[in-house]
Each structure stands twice: as C-alpha cells, then as structure tokens.
C-alpha cells in the first residue's frame, strides 16, 4: 500500500487528536510550555465544563492545556493582565488583550503552588506573542479598557503573576 496526499486523512486525524495533556507538576513536563495556539475546545472535568487550549510546540508536538485555574482563565480566555498598585495595595488591570487566537504564541510557566484561603492552587506566569499576521497595538494603558470589539494583541505581555488570594480552585 502506498501513502496518500489526500487531505481528508489529516483532517480526520486532527479531529480526534487532542494532543498530549500538559501535566505541569510532573518533573519531565516542559516548563515553560511554549506553543503556537491552534484552537480551543471544551471538555468536562470533575469540577464541571472547562476549556482547553490546543497548540503545537516548536518540535511539532501537539499539546492540550487545561484552562481551569483563575490565573489561566484571566490570561488566556479573558486576556486580562494585572499589575500591583502600591497606592491601592491591590492588583489593577494593566491591559486587556482578549482571548488567545490561533497563530498566537503562548508560553506558560508553572511557578509552584500557593496556599489559598481553602486550597493550594497552581501559580503561573504567561507570555503571549501575536500571530505573525496580526497588527501590533498601542502600548498598555494604565486604566482598564472597555471590552474591545476585536481582540487586539499587545506588542509585549506585561511581566505579571497573580496574587495568592485570587484563586482557590484546587487544580
């Protein structure tokens, strides 16, 4: 039997291949995980329905990232990045860039677990770089922006981590 160039084979396979799950706490897991986003999917965990970001790393390996914690939801789904405001003694919105789009390069670094009010939860640092064909946007504004009609992408992601009180989800 000879190989085929029929694109239906690749299409059918991509519909059932979700990629390897990123178990960020495993010693042999890449940390940070850097992928080019390919698509979003929805699934169910013991905590209910959640979203997964699928992507491909620089070596061509397919990955699936559970976006269940508040930190990852804010950075990857809502596109909200915060910074600490000494005057207010709280985190404030630095920039809102919207949901990760296909073609965007995303790097997620697991920083360890933090004790929340009820649970330990994972803390992450996230960097996002626009797809090659995306137009750069203006520099981040200090005040929160209104929800954009199209999800613009900032030229550089602020260097932020979440505060321990923000997330009590145990995954």
What is the per-residue pLDDT across 87-138, written as a single tens digit (0 to 9) for each?
999 989 988 999 999 999 999 999 999 988 888 889 999 999 998 765 443 3
Predicted confidence at residue 61, as pLDDT, reads 93
- The tally of CA atoms less than 13 A away on the side-chain side of residue 67 is 24
Task: Decide if pLDDT at 150 tops 60.
Answer: no
Q: Is the peptide bond prior to 42 cis by the omega test (within 30 degrees of 0)?
A: no
Contact in structure between 15 and 8 (CB atoms under 8 Å) = no
**63-94 pLDDT tens trace:** 999 998 889 999 999 999 888 999 999 989 98
pLDDT band at 17; cut points 50, 70, 90: low
d(CA 51, CA 41): 6
Distant-in-sequence, close-in-space partners of 56: CB < 8 Å, separation ≥ 6: 19, 35, 36, 38, 62, 63
Residue in this structure with the two tokens 């613009």, named with its chain if needed: 152
Q: What is the mean pLDDT of the chain?
A: 78
Hey, CA dihedral for 38, 106, 97, 120, is it positive or negative? positive
What pTM did the predictor assign? 0.67
Predicted confidence at residue 143, as pLDDT, reads 36
């Amino acid at each position: 039997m000879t190989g085929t160039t029929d694109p239906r084979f690749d299409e059918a396979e991509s519909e059932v291949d979700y990629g390897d799950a990123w178990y960020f706490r495993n010693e042999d897991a890449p940390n940070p995980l850097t992928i080019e986003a390919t698509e979003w999917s929805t699934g169910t965990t013991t905590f209910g329905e959640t979203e997964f970001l699928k992507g491909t790393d620089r070596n061509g390996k397919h990955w699936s990232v559970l976006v269940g914690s508040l930190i990852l939801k804010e950075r990857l789904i809502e596109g909200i990045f915060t910074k600490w405001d000494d005057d207010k003694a709280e985190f404030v919105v630095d920039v809102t860039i919207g949901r990760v789009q296909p073609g965007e390069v995303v790097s997620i670094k697991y920083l360890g677990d933090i004790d929340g009010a009820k649970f330990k939860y994972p803390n992450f640092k996230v960097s996002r770089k626009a797809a090659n064909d995306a137009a750069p946007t203006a520099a981040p504004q200090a005040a929160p922006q209104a929800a954009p009609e199209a999800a613009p992408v900032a030229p550089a992601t602020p260097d932020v981590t979440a505060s321990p009180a923000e997330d009590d989800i145990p995954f």
